[in-house]
Amino acid sequence: MGQVTFDTQEFVETLEKSGLKKEQAKAISIAVRKSHEVADVATKRDLEDVRKDMAARFEKVDTKIDSQISLVRKDLQLEMAGIRSEQKLIRWMLSALIAGVASLIIKAFFVASV
């Protein structure tokens, strides 16, 4: 993380101009400086770096998702092709069954009466 610059001399002078005694101004200045040293503050550059990193990571994730979607589509297409071929077989078998039953019905009613 970035470091915040803090001009203690200028800060002391500003406090003295506002009417504080020099000792009080120095004590306040030291307290503020120490609080800045302890604080973990992000700078604009830090935020830009994080944004760039996040954008790169999202791009990688998007690429992975796109490749996974492509694989799923291929699997679905193969599965659908198998289902279509099974449907054709079932239709053929059903047609043969209906033709067989129809021939038996015709034979039973029409051939027997002749």
- Domain assignment of residue 50, yes or no: no
- Domain assignment of residue 65, yes or no: no
- Structure pTM? 0.46
The region of weakest confidence among 6-10, 18-22, 50-54, 69-73 is 6-10
- Domain assignment of residue 92, yes or no: no
pLDDT at 69: 97
Amino acid making up residue 9: Q
CA 83 to chain centre: 32
pLDDT per position as a tens digit, 80-102: 999 999 999 999 999 999 999 99
Quick one: CA dihedral 39, 44, 48, 49, positive or negative?
negative
**What residue numbers bound the domain in which 29 lies?**
1-41
Domains in the chain, number: 1
pLDDT per position as a tens digit, 4-42: 566 778 888 888 888 888 888 888 888 887 777 766 777
